[in-house]
């Protein structure tokens, strides 16, 4: 199966990959819905919202600061490395990630589309005139929770897309452009959050060969052309071996 798929990943193939928390699992980053994904028994849907932030910015920032502290000790794994190599090798390659952890960028992946933003970026929640639209702030841990805007003294918020917030229109447009591809791989995502979970179906409707890589089946599995069950870091490594060494068995 990997041999046939490796053949489809030929140098002129137009490839789009969508990743979720499962590609960072091997780096030791908790997934959202995995056994250690919950934080103090809160569900992401209850904390990652504008309403939760408005109601209790301290609690929401304690969650993000906790995640940033964990992430600051983690490194990209083999799944990130293979995708970074593909981003440099293939002329027509797009990586769309739902992850906000920055590990694809740290692995050297070119032009990552951050579908849900970045945990390492912040923006002023007052959108004050003294601050840029968003900026990088890698302070770990924040000395003060909730952290304040250096320009107006109001609150800053994580530069991520919360439930109930729209996807950046430019991100949506670039992602939609990437659905015209020969192969669409969806890797390490539970495929339950929209509109990210709709991308693979739109790609299939446009004629892409669709592949899922996950340790378990998801709502998307039975709708796709190929569902490969196993860890992304192993399956992507196996694919890369068959692409770079066709005699690899």
Interacting residues with ligand BV8 between 95 and 114 (CB under 6 A): 98, 100
| Active site (annotated) includes residue 237 | no
Candidate residues 2, 8, 13, 37; the one interacting with ligand BV8 per rule CB under 6 A: 37
- Under the binding rule (CB under 6 A), the answer on residue 170 touching ligand BV8 is no
Q: Identify which of residues 12 and 170 has a Cβ nearer to ligand BV8 in the complex.
A: 170
Contact with ligand BV8 (CB under 6 A) among 2, 34, 134, 209:
34
- The residue among 140 and 246 lying less far from ligand BV8, judged by its C-beta, is 140
Considering only the stretches 130-138, 141-149, 159-167, 237-245, report the one whose residues sit in contact with ligand BV8 under the rule CB under 6 A. Answer: 159-167
What mask of x and - would describe binding to ligand BV8 in positions 180 to 219, judged by CB under 6 A? --------xxx-xxx-x----------------xxxx-x-
Question: Would you say 196 and 178 are in contact if contact means Cβ atoms under 8 Å apart?
Answer: no
Round to whole Å and give the CA distance between 156 and 73: 23
Q: What is the Cα 183 distance to its own chain's centre? A: 18
What is the residue-wise DSSP string for 96-146? Answer: EE---S-HHHHTT-SSEEETTEEEEEEEETT--TTS-S-EE---SS-SSSS
3-state SS of 150-200 is CCCCCEEEEEECCCCCCCCHHHHHHHHHCCCCCEEEEECCCCCCCCHHHHH
Contact pick of 5, 21, 83, 155 for ligand BV8 (by CB under 6 A): 21
Tokens of residue 129, six digits? 């005139």
Select from 31, 87, 109, 118 the one that contacts ligand BV8 (CB under 6 A).
31
- Our CB check for ligand BV8 shows the closer of 14 and 33 to be 33
Pick between residue 14 and residue 174 the one whose CB is nearest to ligand BV8: 174
C-alpha span between 243 and 179 (Å, rounded)? 23
Residue 32 makes contact with ligand BV8 by CB under 6 A: yes
CA atoms of 184 and 15, how far apart (whole Å):
6
CB closer to ligand BV8 out of 102 and 231: 231
Please identify which of the residues 116, 151, 201, 237 carries the catalytic annotation: 116
Taking the CA atoms of the chain, what radius of gyration do you get in angstroms? 19
The pair of structure tokens assigned to 240 is: 């890369």
Identify the residue whose tokens are 């609690």.
59
Question: Minimum CB separation from ligand BV8 for residue 216, in Å?
Answer: 4
Q: Which residues are catalytic?
A: 116
């Amino acid at each position: 199966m990997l041999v046939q798929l490796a053949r489809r990943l030929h140098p002129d193939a137009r490839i789009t990959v969508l990743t979720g928390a499962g590609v960072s699992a091997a780096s030791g980053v908790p997934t959202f819905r995995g056994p250690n994904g919950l934080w103090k028994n809160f569900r992401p849907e209850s904390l990652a919202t504008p309403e939760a932030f408005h109601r209790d910015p301290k609690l929401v920032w304690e969650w993000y600061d906790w995640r940033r502290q964990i992430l600051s000790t983690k490194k990209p794994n083999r799944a990130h490395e293979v995708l970074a190599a593909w981003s440099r090798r293939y002329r027509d390659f797009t990586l769309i990630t739902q992850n906000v952890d920055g590990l694809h960028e740290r692995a050297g992946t070119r032009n990552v589309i951050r579908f849900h933003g970045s945990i390492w970026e912040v923006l002023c929640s007052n959108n004050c005139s003294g601050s840029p639209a968003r900026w990088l702030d890698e302070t770990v841990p924040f000395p003060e929770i909730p952290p304040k805007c250096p320009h107006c003294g109001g609150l800053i918020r994580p530069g991520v897309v919360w439930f109930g917030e729209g996807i950046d229109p430019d991100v949506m447009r670039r992602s939609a452009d990437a659905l015209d591809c020969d192969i669409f791989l969806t890797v390490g995502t539970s495929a339950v959050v929209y509109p990210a979970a709709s991308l693979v179906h739109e790609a299939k409707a446009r004629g892409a060969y669709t592949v899922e890589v996950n340790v378990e089946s998801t709502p998307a599995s039975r709708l796709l052309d190929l569902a490969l069950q196993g860890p992304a870091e192993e399956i992507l490594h196996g694919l890369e071996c068959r692409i770079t060494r066709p005699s690899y068995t």
